Structure 1
Amino acid sequence: MSVTLDLSRVSGAAPAVPAPINLSGLTRAQMVAVLTESGVVEHGKAKMRATQVFRWLHHRGVTDFAQMTDVAKETRARLAERFSVSRPEIVERQVSKDGTRKWLIRMGPGIEVETVYIPSVGRAGALCVSSQVGCTLNCSFCHTGTQALVRNLTAAEIVAQVQIAKDDLAEWPSDKDDRLLSNIVFMGMGEPLYNLGSVADAIDIISDNEGIAISRRRITVSTSGVVPQLQALGEKTQAMLAISLHATNDALRDVLVPLNKKYPLAQLMAGIRAYPGLSNARRVTFEYVMLKGVNDSLDEARALVKLIKGLPAKVNLIPFNPWPGSDYQCSDWATIEAFGAILNKAGYSSPIRTPRGRDILAACGQLKSESEKVRASALRQLSMAAMAGVLDDDDDGDEAA
C-alpha cells in the first residue's frame, strides 16, 4: 500500500511572507494607489503623501522613512512596516583614470548588473543603465551577449542604478546647479524593448519634475531593433531613440545582430520612420561599431547613406576593442575617418568616439556580471569595447547614444 504524506498541515510551517514593495520603483500615480490600498494613508491625503514621499526618495535621495521629517511620525512608522526604500548592494566600485565610474550591483542572489557613469558626455555626464540581467540577442561582436538572460529588472532596480550613481556623485538634492549627471542611456546589459513596461515606468520616475527631473530629451533608449515595440516606446516614454545597426544589408546584419532574421532592415527602417516625435530636434542615432574588413568599406558607407536617406539622424562610429573569444578586429583609424567623411559629406553628423573607462572594463555593450560566475578580479583582465560612443558633446538637448 502506498502512502502519500500531506505536508501542507505540518505544525509550525509559516506561509511565505511577500517582500515589501520598494516605493522607489513606483511612479507618483502608482504610489498614490499603493498607499491608499495599503490603508497606511487616508484616501483624501494619498496624493499629498505620495508627492512628499516621492520627493524624499528622488529629490533628496533618502533611504530611511525616519528621515522624511514632514511626514507624521506615526505615518512613517506604518510606511516602514509595509514598504521599503533601500538600495541594492554595491558589490564593487571602480573609478577609471579618465573619471569613468563603474558599479557592480547585486539586486539579489545571482542577480547582478553593471552600471557605468561617463563624465563630460552630454551636457555634463551620462549614466549607462542596464534593463536586464544578461541578454538573449547574441550579437556576435558583443561580450554582454555571451551571458545568458537571467531575468528582467524591475522599475525599482533600474531606478536604483540612477540613485546609486547620484549617491556616489553627491548629487542630492536633484536640483543642484552643478549637477554631474545630466543624461541617461539605456545601453547597459539587456534589450530594453524586451522589458518595456519596467523601462517606461523607470523613465517616468527619472523624468518626474518632483524628483530626479532629467528631461526625456536627455534619456536615450537603444534597441537592436525590436520593431513591434518601437511605436509603444515612443508613445509611452517620449525618449530619444538609438538603433544598434552595424550593417547595411540583411546578409551581414543577420550575422552581427541575429535579431535581424526576425525583423529585417526593411521592417526596421519603416518602424524608425514612424517613430513618434522623430524630427530634426529629436534625431534617431545609429550606432555603428567599426569592424575591420567586415562592415567598414567605403561602399558600406555609401550604402549607409542610402539606407538612412531622408531621416533626421546621426551616426556614432564606435571603434571596436577585441575581447577574449572574439574573432573581430577594430578598423584602422584612417578607414574610420574615411568612412565618416562620406557620411559627413552627405550631411550626417558622424562622430568617432574615443574609448572611455578601458582600464576598469566600462565599455558599452561589453558588460558582464558576476552572475556568470566570473570573479570581478578576473574581469579586470579582459578587454572591452568603446563606451563613449553614446552622446553628442554639444549642449543643444539632442544628445543620444
Structure 2
Amino acid sequence: MHLDMEKRGSSTLKQQPCQDASALQQQDVGSWLGPQHGVPQHAEPGNRHEFKGDPGDTQFLSQQVREDGAASEEVVQCGMEAALNFDTVPDLTLDSPNFGLFEMNTDDCRLWGLRVVVPKKLRDQLISELHEHHWGIVKMKPLARSLFWWPAVDECIEQEVSECTICQKQRSMPCTAPVHKWKWAASPWERIHLDFAEDHKQMFLVVMDAYARWPEIIPMHTTTSLKTIEALRNLFAAYGFPKEVVTDNGPQFVSQEFEYFLKKNGVQHIKSPAYHPASNGLAERLVQNLKKSLAKNRAIGGMSLEHCVANFLLGYRNTPHTTTGKTPAELFLKRQVRTRLSLIRPQFSQRMQNKTEPPLPRVRVFTVGQPVLVKNYRGGEKWLNGVIREILGPVTYSVEVNGKCVKKHVNQMLGVNGNPAQWTQTDSCTGNFWNDDVIYSFL
C-alpha cells in the first residue's frame, strides 16, 4: 500500500513536525501500521447479513461510505509507517491537500489506487462473498488485493479461512516433522524390530537387531500370534531375551497372548503409531531389501526359496553396514565370519604356528608300492603281507592285504627286509612330510 503512496507523490508531501512521544503513546499504533508491518488489526465483528445490498453495487457502496466517514480516517492513518521510522509524518488527513494525491472520488466511492476502500459495515459480507468457492488463503489474498482494501484485510481473510469448517476438514497433511532417531542400543540384542513380509504368497517374520543390524528371517506358514511366539521363542533360546521389542499394530503383535508372552519374560513392547511405518524403519527397510533380493534371485533362477533366503542372510551379515561401518557379524558375533571371499586373505595363523611349535618328532614313512607287514587282528598269523597303495595322511595308509584295501596306521605296519621304512619329520596338523628329497602334502 505505502509503495503506491511513494510512487504517486511522496516527494510532494507536505511535511509536519512529528508528534511527541506522549501523543504517540495515546494513539493506537495499529492505526498507523498496515498488516504487512507486523501489527495485527482485527475487523470488528458484525452481522454479515445485516445489509441486504450488493457490496459490488457502486451506489450502495457510495451510500455506505457517506454513512461511515470514519472508514476514510482509518484508511488514511493505517499507512502511517513513517510515524515510527522518520522524524516527520506526512499530513494525510481528510482535510489535508495531500490526501487528494492518494484517493479519487468516483460516484462518491473512495479509491486507494485502483482498489475500493470498503467501509466497516460491508467487510464481513464482502469476505463471505470472496470465500464463496472456499478458496484458500493464498488464492484469496491476491484476488482481494486486486479489487478492494481496508486495514488488516489479510488478517480478515486468514480468520475467515481458519474458521471455515469445510476448509478445515479438507486440509492437506501437515509438513513432515524432522526424523526422531531411536536411542542407540548399547549392546547386541538389546532392542529388536519385528515385522512381517510377504513375497509370492510366502510370509516371513523379519527381525532386525538395532545395535549390530543383525537380521533374522523366519519363513512362516501362518502368522497367528501362537506361531509368532513359537518363532520368537526359538530366537530367544539362541540369543536371550531382549530389553525392548518394537512392532507395528498388526493383529499378531497386539493380541493378549503376545503381550503376555513378552511381559512374562520381562520384555518391553513398543508399538509404532498406526499407519506410520517410518517409526519402525529398521524392520521396514529389511523387508524392502529382502523382497528386492528375492526378486533378483528369482530372475537368475535355479535356486529354491530357502537357498535365496540363506544367500541373502550370508551376504547381509558379512557386508559392512552404512550406519555402523562394520559388518553385522563383527558386531553381533564379535568375529568375522568365514566366507568364500575371505579365502583371499593370507593365513597367518599357520605360519605363526610353524614358528612357535617345538621340534617335530621323527616318524616312519612308507612309499606307494612298498611291500609291508600288516598286523593281523583276526587270529592266525601275527603279521600279514601287504602293499602300500595310497598315502592317506601323515600316519595313515591304504594297504592292499589279500586283495582287499584296508586303512592302517603306521604303528600297525612293519617294513619288509630289503625295503625298510624311511624316517622323516612330520607336522601332525598339516600333514606335510619333510624328507631329504621330496615333500608330500595332503589336503
Scaled by the length of structure 2, the TM-score of the pair is 0.17
Higher strand share: 2
When the two structures are superposed, what TM-score results if normalisation uses the length of structure 1? 0.18
Larger RCO of the pair (alpha carbons < 8 Å, separation 6+): 1
